[in-house]
């Protein structure tokens, strides 16, 4: 791969129709996520909101940003960035979510507004 002897620029030009369809889907999903937020679904609200956001972001990345036609190296880099974000959030959350598994004297935990312990 490091021998760059042949110099074709492989360019994938998207169809206008594809771009417009993605745009339409993004607008619809924006409406949908707003509409769902008016419903009382408990913990499902955030799950649906995030699922919609992830699918919107994926569409933007896959089509608008052209990840679909990039090299596997670029795809690997994109995935690595997201995995590292996941590492940061998940491991930090593992601390906050297991702090109260053992008794620790935390006077602020009795805060009626909800403290570090729920």
For residue 113, state whether it binds another protein (rule: CB under 8 A): yes
What single-letter DSSP state applies at residue 61? Answer: I
- 103 belongs to the binding site for another protein (CB under 8 A): no
* Residue ranges in 40-79 that form contacts with another protein under rule CB under 8 A: 40-41, 45-46, 49-50, 52-53, 56-57, 60-61, 63-66, 68-71, 73-74, 77-78
- Which H or E run contains 112? none
Distance CA 25, CA 63 (A): 12
Q: How many helices (H) and strands (E) does the chain have?
A: 3, 0
- Minimum CB separation from another protein for residue 36, in Å? 8
As measured in angstroms, the least distance from the Cβ of 110 to another protein is: 13
């Amino acid at each position: 791969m490091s021998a760059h002897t042949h110099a074709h620029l492989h360019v994938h030009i998207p169809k206008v129709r594809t771009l417009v369809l993605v745009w339409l889907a993004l607008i619809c999903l924006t409406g949908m996520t707003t509409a769902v937020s008016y419903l009382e679904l408990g913990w499902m609200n955030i799950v649906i909101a995030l699922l919609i956001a992830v699918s919107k972001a994926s569409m933007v990345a896959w089509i608008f940003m052209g990840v679909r036609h990039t090299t596997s190296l670029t795809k690997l880099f994109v995935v690595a960035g997201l995995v590292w974000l996941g590492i940061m959030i998940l491991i930090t959350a593992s601390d906050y979510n297991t702090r109260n598994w053992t008794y620790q004297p935390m006077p602020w935990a009795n805060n009626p507004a909800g403290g570090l312990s729920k």
